[in-house]
């Protein structure tokens, strides 16, 4: 079916959180997000999302909106959203970087195309492989006692794995991790995400020696994003599996990670790499190198989270997911359903979610329409 993009509407929204989300370099009282509504000449509508992270991709809420409105959206008018290689080539030729802006448009294209064909997005990616994924609860940085209390509460609610946000002073973080492990016992998986907070390999190895008794699933991005050699050293000198997150943005990073054997696992995020299409390319590269993958989160709404799940569910190399944004919001624009502590996708076409336009407009701070 021939179809072309005739309208792109861009919404800058604030997603309200139940409680502040605290990581090593920022604290959020709400999540700023950009929603793209794509309409084709065949009447099909697709939704995409971009959640910027100034510290990871170099994009802000405001710059993301401006780039979409002024630079990228006008270039895609008249294009067929099914031609994903061409769509990405146009975007990459138009502007370097800005992966979150490109992800928002990529996701909207996939949603519209899936709906036009009457199939879920995962069917466009090779079909469904996984039946379900367990959900990991993310613990924001707090005191050791606060984090242990929250972990205990979530275990009672049925969660079997915790992702701990740390990345302050290393010995304080050690106390946090020890407190949570002591509280939840040995049977609960604990993943530690440092978000670059320990800066270098020397500090990280000092911490890892203190944590040898804590049976960690993995340690994620302890050193600065661009310090791939630091990751190599950490991986060589600790028995705990090492995951790269901020240090993996696109194919160039993945080539270096593979060449240097810098990680046991990689955290692929649609907002870092440019969307669903580039994410599948990274997954294939990792699979060839024998590196496990996770699809991670920038705390997106149902739209961006569903897009990540479709990638994860379609690939055997994906062994974990961390897309829990919708569980953190007191109000969401979509209806992605979680069966806590699991996620199981439905078989509805496109992303498989319905966007509530009334809520979308209610949460909108400003918006713009780009039309043919």
Q: Which residues are catalytic?
A: 165, 193, 220, 245, 269
- The answer to whether residues 278 and 258 touch, using CB atoms and an 8 Å cutoff, is no
Rounded to whole angstroms, the Cα distance separating 85 from 81 reads 10
Radius of gyration of the chain (CA): 20
Tell me the β-bridge partners of 162.
137, 190
Cβ atoms of 210 and 184 within 8 Å: the answer is no
Count CB atoms within 10 A of the CB of residue 370. 19
SS3 category, 279: helix
How far apart (Å, rounded) are the C-alpha atoms in residues 246 and 117? 35
Q: Compute φ and ψ for 54, nearest 5 degrees.
A: -50, -35
Find out whether 194 and 166 touch, Cβ atoms under 8 Å.
Answer: yes
Cα–Cα dist 335/338, whole Å: 9
């Amino acid at each position: 079916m021939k179809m072309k993009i005739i309208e792109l509407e861009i919404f800058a929204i604030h997603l309200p959180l139940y409680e502040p989300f605290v990581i090593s370099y920022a604290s959020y009282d709400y999540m700023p997000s950009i929603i793209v509504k794509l309409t084709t000449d065949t009447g099909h509508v697709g939704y995409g999302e971009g959640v910027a992270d100034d510290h990871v991709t170099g994009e802000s809420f405001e710059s993301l909106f401006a780039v979409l409105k002024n630079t990228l959206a006008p270039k895609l008018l008249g294009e067929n959203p099914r031609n994903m290689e061409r769509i990405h080539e146009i975007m990459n030729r138009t502007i370097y970087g800005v992966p979150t802006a490109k992800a928002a448009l990529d996701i909207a294209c996939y949603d519209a195309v899936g709906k036009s064909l009457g199939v879920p997005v995962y069917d466009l990616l090779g079909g469904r492989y996984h039946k379900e994924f367990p959900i990991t609860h993310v613990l924001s940085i707090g005191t050791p006692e606060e984090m242990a209390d929250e972990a205990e509460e979530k275990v009672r609610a049925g969660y079997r794995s915790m992702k701990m946000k740390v990345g302050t002073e290393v010995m304080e973080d050690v106390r946090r991790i020890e407190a949570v492990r002591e509280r939840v016992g040995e049977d609960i998986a604990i993943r530690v995400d440092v978000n670059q907070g320990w800066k270098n390999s020397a500090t990280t190895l000092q911490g890892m020696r203190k944590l040898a008794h804590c049976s960690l699933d993995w340690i994620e991005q302890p050193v600065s994003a661009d310090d791939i050699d630091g990751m190599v050293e950490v991986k060589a000198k600790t028995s705990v599996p090492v995951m790269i997150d901020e240090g993996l943005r696109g194919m160039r990073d993945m080539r270096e990670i593979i060449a240097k054997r810098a990680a046991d696992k990689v955290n692929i995020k649609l907002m870092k790499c440019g969307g669903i299409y580039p994410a599948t390319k990274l997954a294939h590269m990792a699979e060839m190198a024998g590196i496990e993958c996770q699809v991670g989160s920038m705390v997106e709404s149902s739209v961006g989270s569903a897009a990540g799940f479709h990638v994860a569910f379609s690939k055997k190399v994906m062994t974990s997911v961390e897309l829990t944004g919708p569980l953190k919001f007191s109000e969401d624009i979509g209806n992605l359903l979680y069966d806590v502590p699991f996620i199981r996708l439905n078989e509805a076409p496109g992303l498989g979610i319905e966007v509530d336009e009334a809520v979308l407009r209610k949460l909108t701070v400003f918006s713009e329409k780009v039309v043919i």
